[in-house]
Structure 1
Amino acid sequence: MIGYLVRRLLLGAVQVLLVVVGVFLLTEALPGDAAVTIAGDKPDPAVIAGLRAELGLDRPMWQRFAEWLGSALQGDLGTSLVGPRPVAEMIGTAAGPTLLLAGLALALLVPLSTGLGVLAARHEGSRLDRLVTSTTLGLYAAPEFAMAILLVAVFAVQLGWFPPTAIGGSLSSNPALLALPILVLLLRPICSLSRLVRAGMIDAQRSPFVQHARRLGLSPTRIRFAHALPNAAAPAVQQLARTADWLIGGVIVVEAIFVIPGLGTSLLEAVSARDLPVVQGLALVFATTTVLVNLGADLAARALSPTSEVGR
């Protein structure tokens, strides 16, 4: 296990480095830079040149990246070119709303998707099973932005049950602001996870160890939740890790539609302003989160199903 952890962490470090290098090169390829953004709509070339020199943007690309990487390895993500504020402080401030949304979504996702999958597997082939399967398949096919716009139009604009955006409100003091964003974040993950749990439960209930448990006279409830579900949950845990990664680093669309000041909104603003240190810092956070979450998922899947090849 220690050797496996070391290999995965080394591989993860290489992956994070490749992501950071790729993001740096892509951002550099965009037209304009932070100096043009700061100069305004009708910039003076002399002013832009002075700003580039002041911000260090006139130095070679490799030199700027090497300096940033050296500082990042020491825990310093630099300073925003537009702010100016420390990048770590900006990420810490923006992480609050994103983590709140992601945490609440995950807290609801696990019991809802597990319960729905177990319910569908218990009534395999019935109308209920077909209804759950067809509904989840249809919802999964709908993109997040379309569902978000539809929910806002119906529940916020027409019915007036929830606020359409978070403008002028606080997520912590007004829970109603969280209802529609969390619902949008839950719809697709519930569909995918519940289908995985259903398929895993059906396979587990037909397996020899479950049949042996039935011959021993164990109750159906104990067989279902104590024996079948842990084995069925192994592939679902890996999907849950990908979902957690998406919730933390891929809520850009949801945050943009509902005007939530989280990491996704910060990334959009940084790319628009060509604020490279902020973009690099967010890329580092997202990439590191992806590596750690997927490593944790592999370890959890192996613990739930020791016979699985995951993590070997």
Structure 2
Amino acid sequence: MRGYLLHRLVLGLVQLALLAGLVFALTSLLPGDAAAVRYDGDATGAQVAALREQLGLDRPALERFTDWAGGVLTGDLGTSLVSGGPVTGILAESAGPTLVLTAVTLVVVVPLALLLGLASGTREGGRTDRVFSSLTLALNAVPDFLLALLLVAGLSLKLGWLPATWVGVGAGELLGQPALLVLPVAVVAARMICLLSRQIRAGTVTTLGAGYVVQARRLGVPRRALLLRHVLPNAAVPGIQELARVGDNLVGGVLVVEAVFAIPGVATALVRAVEARDIPTVQGLALVVAAAALLFSLAADLVCHRLVPRTEILR
């Protein structure tokens, strides 16, 4: 286990380093820079050049990147070219809604996926199995942004049941208005529930046909105990493996939903940073989001290994 954990951590650090370089290169290719965007064409070339020098944008790109990377090693994500404050401050202000949305989504996804997967797997070929399979296949084919627009148009604009956006609502007011979470969580959770429940269904069907389960049935083990103690731990493994694989989709889906519903989270801060050509902020936020996705994937793999110790997932 220690060797596996060390292997994954080293691989993750290499991936983060490559991502940081790629993000810096791509943002550097954007037209204009923070100085030009700030003046928006209302300044002379001399004024733009002076501001560029003040922000350090006249320095070679490699030098700016190495300075930023050196700061990251000490926990410093850099300084915003727009606000002049630390990027960690921007992250602290925007991370709250994103973390709440992600946590609530997982709380909804995991039990529902287990329930649907077990219900379908224990009734293989039956009406329940066919209905659930049809619904998950159809829902999985709908893109997140399209599903978000359909829910907003139907449940918010037409019926008026739920709020359509978070515009005018601060992050601190979230717990007092849980209705704000319903549509965003539904959009993010829909695809994940479809993917995970199908994997759990497949694991349930396979486990129910295993010799030890057949023998337990012959010995008269109660159905509830059979499912919870013997079937579920092994049937859940494919679902957890799928959860590890779609961890980046969870993070990416949250960011898309934040943009659609105007949620003041990390995605909003990232979009504003790109628009302002605030490269240190873009790099810092992208690095944190990528690290979160990698840690999520690692945690899911470790849970898999704990449920089935013989399972080694060395990707």
TM range (shorter): over 0.9
Kept in 1, the 8 Å contact 2:274–2:282? The answer is yes
More off after superposition, 214-223 vs 131-140: 214-223
Q: Which amino acid aligns with 2:301?
A: D
Matched, 1:154 2:157: no
Q: Which residue of 1 aligns with 2:34?
A: 34
Kept in 2, the 8 Å contact 1:106–1:244? The answer is no
1:142-221 equivalence runs, <5 A = 142-169=142-169, 170-221=173-224
Q: Which residue of 2 aligns with 1:20?
A: 20
Distance in 2 between residues matched to 1:249 and 1:159, nearest whole Å: 29
Q: Which amino acid aligns with 2:250?
A: L
Structure 2 CA distance for partners of 1:250 and 1:152, relative to 1, 3 Å: closer
Kept in 2, the 8 Å contact 1:163–1:176? The answer is yes
Query: What secondary structure sits across from 1:251 in the alignment?
Result: helix
Q: Mind listing any 5+ residue stretches in structure 2 that lack a counterpart?
A: none
Kept in 1, the 8 Å contact 2:251–2:293? The answer is no
Q: Which residue of 2 aligns with 1:96?
A: 96
More off after superposition, 248-257 vs 280-289: 248-257
Distance in 1 between residues matched to 2:156 and 2:231, nearest whole Å: 41
Structure 2 CA distance for partners of 1:152 and 1:250, relative to 1, 3 Å: closer
Q: Which amino acid aligns with 2:205?
A: I
Percent same amino acid at aligned positions?
Answer: 49
Distance in 2 between residues matched to 1:104 and 1:210, nearest whole Å: 34
Distance in 2 between residues matched to 1:281 and 1:217, nearest whole Å: 58
Q: Which amino acid aligns with 1:110?
A: V
Q: Which residue of 2 aligns with 1:235?
A: 238
Query: What secondary structure sits across from 1:43 in the alignment?
Result: coil
More off after superposition, 62-71 vs 44-53: 44-53
Q: Which amino acid aligns with 2:207?
A: A
More off after superposition, 273-282 vs 37-46: 37-46
Matched, 1:287 2:290: yes
Query: How many Å apart are 1:242 and its aligned residue?
Result: 3.9
Query: How many Å apart are 1:241 and its aligned residue?
Result: 3.0
Kept in 2, the 8 Å contact 1:249–1:264? The answer is no
Q: Which residue of 1 aligns with 2:9?
A: 9
Q: Which amino acid aligns with 2:204?
A: M
Q: Which residue of 2 aligns with 1:66?
A: 66
Kept in 1, the 8 Å contact 2:247–2:297? The answer is no
Query: How many Å apart are 1:285 and its aligned residue?
Result: 0.5
Query: How many Å apart are 1:252 and its aligned residue?
Result: 2.3
Query: How many Å apart are 1:311 and its aligned residue?
Result: 4.6
Structure 2 CA distance for partners of 1:242 and 1:95, relative to 1, 3 Å: farther
More off after superposition, 42-51 vs 68-77: 42-51
Query: How many Å apart are 1:308 and its aligned residue?
Result: 2.2
| Number of matched pairs | 312
Q: Which amino acid aligns with 1:184?
A: V
Q: Which residue of 2 aligns with 1:277?
A: 280
Q: TM-score, normalised by structure 1?
A: 0.96
Query: How many Å apart are 1:173 and its aligned residue?
Result: 2.0
Kept in 2, the 8 Å contact 1:250–1:264? The answer is no
Query: How many Å apart are 1:30 and its aligned residue?
Result: 1.1
The Cα offsets for residues 221-270 of structure 1, whole Å up to 9 and x where unpaired, read as 21112111111111211222344443335422211111001111111111
Q: Which amino acid aligns with 1:65?
A: F
The Cα offsets for residues 187-228 of structure 1, whole Å up to 9 and x where unpaired, read as 111111111110110001001121122233211221112111
More off after superposition, 206-215 vs 107-116: 206-215
Query: How many Å apart are 1:182 and its aligned residue?
Result: 0.8
Kept in 2, the 8 Å contact 1:123–1:129? The answer is yes
Query: How many Å apart are 1:149 and its aligned residue?
Result: 0.5
Q: Which residue of 1 aligns with 2:54?
A: 54
The Cα offsets for residues 87-109 of structure 1, whole Å up to 9 and x where unpaired, read as 00101111100001110110011
1:98-113 equivalence runs, <5 A = 98-113=98-113
Query: What secondary structure sits across from 1:163 in the alignment?
Result: coil
